[in-house]
Structure 1
Amino acid sequence: TSDAPSTQGFIFPEAPCTAPKLKMLLSSFCVSVLSVLCLMVTTARGGKVLVFPHDGSHWVNMKVLVEELHLRGHSVTVIRAADSWYISETSPHYQAVTVDFALGGNEDFYRLFVSEVIKIKRSYGSAWARFALDMELKDKFFEFHRKVCEMIVSMFENEELMKSLRDAGYETVLTDPANGGGVFLAHHLGLPVVFNARWTVHGEAHFAIAPSPLSYVPLPPSELTDGMTILERVKNMIFYNVRMHLYRRVVGPHYSALSKRYFGPDVDYFSLFQAADLWLMRVDFVFEFPRPTMPNVVYMGGFQCKPAKPLSPDLEAFVLSSGEHGVIIMSFGTLIGDLPPDLAHEIAAAFAKLPQKVIWRYTGIKPASLGNNTLVLDWMPQNDLLGHPSIKLFISHGGTNGIYEAMYHGVPMVGIPFVFDQADNLSRLRAKGVARILDVSELNQKTLVKTIQEVLTESSYRANMQRLSRLHRDQPTKPLERAVFWIEFVMRHKGAAHLRSDAYKLPWHVYRSVDVILFLLTAAAAVLLLIGLLVSFCFRVCWKRKDKSD
């Protein structure tokens, strides 16, 4: 064995070698070769994805998909505005293309807006607060969508940028239809579209493509359920028509002008949304009410949820110190980091009266009424805390990320909604018996303590939430795996036209079969008229014969 053996061109060192050592070297070599081959296969299969996200909390969801696509070997490029708040310009998971345009949706803007919303809700009665809030949102959304369209124009007019995007060889555009930027960019580049959706520019996403009978499908954010009384159905009908009118007034002028400018007068801007190849819906029917859907809708609600990681030693010690009473956690998300001083004082004083320990994510000035049982943090590992067995209750503003994390871990909730879809999200949990809702206008020490104690002492809240958790987890594939599979499906097949209905192309009277009903009514009227004429003719003939016989 002193000669150096050779195997498939690989030369071993010239040294005495026993059979076991030879086997180990061969095994190591094979593992290395297989690893390289696997890497080559992954790289060969990796595609190119262009992402046009919606900033703010929507990016938190989109980022999960971006990171998973990167992990699967895909090359991801993310379009961002120059003043983007959430979307970083540098990342190991994607390459950013920064458009030299300011959308204005920065941290200060959102904090000022939320502060104004809180003021409105606490100053007006419920009906006037809803109206005032809708008017405030209408003005803000009108301005936001105008800026999105201006950003798209600046991109389309930048020949160098558009040429680089065309030459890059992207296989699909992944976008959030809460703004129209990604839809217009995909149509301009001739690429298939995948939506990461809960909302479109016209409201809740299902209403854009799926049959939505208003008799049992409530329009968010009406806060109705699928079991409506006749008065609630009237409310749902009125709410739907008013909302659709407002959506068209807010976004229509901007996107219609953009569509006409670049795609011609015959292209309706909203048809570009309805023509999307795939809709990844951020809902689960454990949360959503049963409703009609379409073949190109894939449900991935809770795709961002994952098992809890161990807490830091300091946080773990605080949680365990709660003993049998357990811990309550409260977070209002990134948009609501601080509160008006008097409201923060009421909340802190309420927590001080509880036997439970409390962890409160809060970035404002600490209230003087803060008790020894309350730990205030600028940031907290929300998912990891919710998965800890000592957590008894989650107090939240009703954002979808927090709702699904609480559902995933089986923790009941007290909801304090502020703006957007938060109240409607929480109303669905209330209908399922897993949460109580407390409006900001009626929030004080007494009401907060009473609501917390009710959820903690009534065992049905926890039992119902744990039942939802079991239902949500009992799936053949994880929501994130399902979402990435379908993105890759669209990339492999250059779209998913066979799953997409062209019903959106039909005129409204054809879609609702008004022409068929009119045809049938006309035919029935013609038959009745013919029968009437025939009877009349027979009657006259018989009458004439009788006259002759007389």
Structure 2
Amino acid sequence: MAIVSKPRCSASLLVFLGFLIRHRSSAEKVLLVPPPFGNSHWITLARIGRALVDRGYIVTVVVSEDIVEKRRAEWPDFQFETFQDGGTRATLEAVQDQAHSVARVLSLFELIEAFASVPEYLKQYCALLLEESNLLDQLRARQYSVVISDPFFPCGAVLSAHLDSRVPHIAVMRADPYFLDLKATGVPLPLSYVPFISTDFTDDMTFVKRLQNVVMSTLVPVVGRQSVSSIYDGLVRKYIGKKETIQSVTSRTDLWLYRTDNVLDHPRPSMPSMVQVGGLNVRAAVPLTEDMEAFVQSSGDDGVVVVSFGSMVKTMSTARIEIFAAAFARLRQKVVWRYVGEKPTGLGNNTKLLEWLPQNDLLAHPKTRAFITHAGSNGLYEALHHGVPMVCLPLFGDQPANAARVVARGLGVKLDFSTVTADQLYQAILHVVTNNSYQETAARLSRLHRDQPQSPMERAVWWIEHVIKHGRLPHLRARAVELPWYQYYLLDVAAFLFGVCLVVLGTVWCSCSFFCRKCCTKGGGKMKSQ
């Protein structure tokens, strides 16, 4: 019997393996098109991809040849397709590091100067990707069910349309830096209470702030759209169609996954194709390493303060480092600080420096009392989810707006990174840690954020599967996307009504004038007869 059972077991195993291989080959395929730089953007897409892999999907990522080995080592569950980018990705990363590796607040002029060359390199990267005919043939042969990209790199929408215009396209983002989504979604934005993303305004604005909000919300998007059009319209006409533009291609996007949440962000109008998934980067906490857990437990009842300025910021100027080190040294709490560089001379015994830290797991720890942050979106939602108050020192991008929302919600305080002193930083941390209102507010908002029928990641995956199952979703798109500007703003209706009013008023005026003349004529005739 034993001799007979071996072949049977082997045959059963082969049948089972054959079933798995056949099932995997017939599984739905998803294509991710990440930006060439900006690690936080890539991490967001990668985590969505991992969730889809766990659901049985085959996820392929398009990356340049020089980064593929690193990506493959980090995310072995993905398949990768590569192309030669001529060194543009490395150049873009170098520009980013030069601008943001050292924590500092950049003025508008400094930002423009630092990133003046970025659009041209992004265009080159996109052009080299679209010119890779062998790669495009392979991608078309795979017959992907959906393409997912980040509008931070608009080439994702172009590649999706170039591969097959019938394949749905999904955008995942915090906000569109080029403001193409405003027209693509057709959503109205009442500027009386919807603050511009690059300001630190809330939904409660004074007259002066509303004036500034109107000016910025009107002019900046126009400049942004003109800028991106000048970069990508040529590529769009070459690869998609002569009458197409980057705006028209982006407007074909079937689903917009916004990394926002009404608990932290201000409520605003939305469309059915716009889905909030703020906090999708949050995952279940895993136990800390033995030495980290021992350090955290050594804090006793005082607890721990977590310090991190995101994945791009690696270090600070010497003056800023010593200010932070001196402030942390005065705390009774233990401090875990993500920091790369030489050890500050004023570093206290209570502070632990790490080149990388398990931020989500530390914020989930019951001994964590506060989070010192640059107010990046991912970190904010981790702190919100785990109910940790914050001290925000925003640097660039959407961080000032994020910090303003933290303050408005009562989740923490905001400081100026450029001018903060050691005493101000110490007092701010002490205020947040010892004031029960911040802890209570953080706990309450955490409960609100968690009390959802689906987690943000589950909601994102459900909508992606919905798109894969049903294909493109034109019934979710507002007609506003297709209307010319004069129809959208009802200028033709206004002109017609204005014309009607003129005709009515003109008729009334002429009638009154006519009767007045008649009356005057009759009165004059009677006078003569007498």
Please say whether Structure 1 and Structure 2 have the same fold, judged by a TM-score greater than 0.5. Answer: yes
Question: Quick one: which of 168, 171, 176 aligns to 1:195?
Answer: 171
- 1:168 corresponds to which residue? 142
1:79 aligns with 2:62: yes
Alignment match of 2:352 (pick from 343, 359, 375): 375
Match of 1:19 in 2: none
Structure-1 residue corresponding to 2:109: 135
TM-score by length of structure 1 reads: 0.87
Which residues of structure 1 form unaligned runs of 5+?
A: 5-10, 15-27, 122-128
Q: Distance in 2 between matches of 1:88 and 1:204?
A: 29
- 1:482/1:335 Cα in 2 relative to 1: closer, same or farther (>3 Å)? same
Q: CA deviation at 1:349?
A: 1.3
RMSD: 2.9
Deviation (angstroms), 1:203: 4.2
Equivalent of residue 478 in structure 2, options 496, 501, 508: 501
**2:375 touches 2:403 (CA, 8 Å); kept in 1?**
yes
- Whole-angstrom distance in 1 between the partners of 2:496 and 2:503: 10
Contact 1:275 1:500 in 2 (8 A): no
**Per the alignment, in what secondary structure is the counterpart of residue 497 of structure 2?**
helix
Give 2:446's aligned residue. 469
* Other-structure match for 1:95: 79
Deviation, 1:483, is 0.7
Aligned-partner Cα distance in 1 for 2:180–2:455: 24
Instruction: Tell me what 2:30 maps to.
Output: 49
Question: For the structure 1 residues 458 and 409, does the alpha-carbon distance in structure 2 shift closer, same or farther, using more than 3 Å as the test?
Answer: same
1:219/1:239 contact within 8 Å kept = yes
Contact 2:229 2:245 in 1 (8 A): no
Give 1:43 deviation, angstroms. Answer: 4.0
| 3-state SS, counterpart of residue 278 of structure 2 | coil
Kindly indicate whether residue 432 of structure 2 is the aligned counterpart of residue 455 of structure 1: yes
Question: C-alpha separation between the residues in 2 aligned to 1:145 and 1:35?
Answer: 51
TM-score between the two structures when normalised by the length of structure 2: 0.90
User: 2:498 & 2:81 partners in 1: Cα distance?
Assistant: 58
CA distance in 2, matches of 1:346, 1:525: 69
- Separation of aligned partners in 1, 2:158 and 2:113: 23
Superimposed CA distance per residue, residues 353-386 of structure 1 (whole angstroms, 9 cap, x where no aligned partner): 1111111111111111111111111111111111
> In structure 1, how many angstroms separate the alpha carbons of the residues matched to 2:255 and 2:96?
30
**2:508 pairs with 1:534:** no
Give percent identity, aligned residues only: 37
Aligned to 2:337, the other structure's residue is in SS state strand
The aligned amino acid for 1:50 is L
Structure 1 CA distance for aligned equivalents of residues 361 and 115 of structure 2: 34
Give yes or no for contact 2:273–2:477 (8 Å, CA) kept in 1. Answer: yes
Distance, in Å, in 2 between the alignment partners of 1:81 and 1:145 is 18
| 1:285 has 2:262 as partner | yes
Task: Report the secondary structure of 1:384's partner residue.
Answer: helix
Q: Within 5 A, what are the aligned runs for 1:384-463?
A: 384-463=361-440
Q: Separation in 1 of the partners of 2:102 and 2:288?
A: 36
Q: Distance in 2 between matches of 1:435 and 1:85?
A: 40
1:302 is the counterpart of 2:285: no
The Cα offsets for residues 483-523 of structure 1, whole Å up to 9 and x where unpaired, read as 11111211122211111123122222211112211111111
Which of 253, 256, 264 does residue 230 from structure 2 map onto? Answer: 253
Structure 1 Cα separation of the partners of residues 321 and 407 of structure 2: 25
Matched positions, count: 516
Change (3 A) 1:76 1:240: same
Deviates more, 1:109-118 or 1:177-186: 109-118
Distance 1:421 1:309, change over 3 A: same
Answer whether contact 2:103 2:313 (CA < 8 A) is retained. Answer: no
Contact preservation (8 Å) 1:177, 1:200? yes
Q: Deviations over 1:66-98 (max 9, x none)?
A: 111111111111111244499614542211112
Contact 2:102–2:317 (CA under 8 A) maintained in structure 1: no
Residue 339 of structure 2 corresponds to 362
Shift in alpha-carbon separation, 1:443–1:297, aligned structure 2, 3 A: same
Unaligned runs of 5+ in 2: none
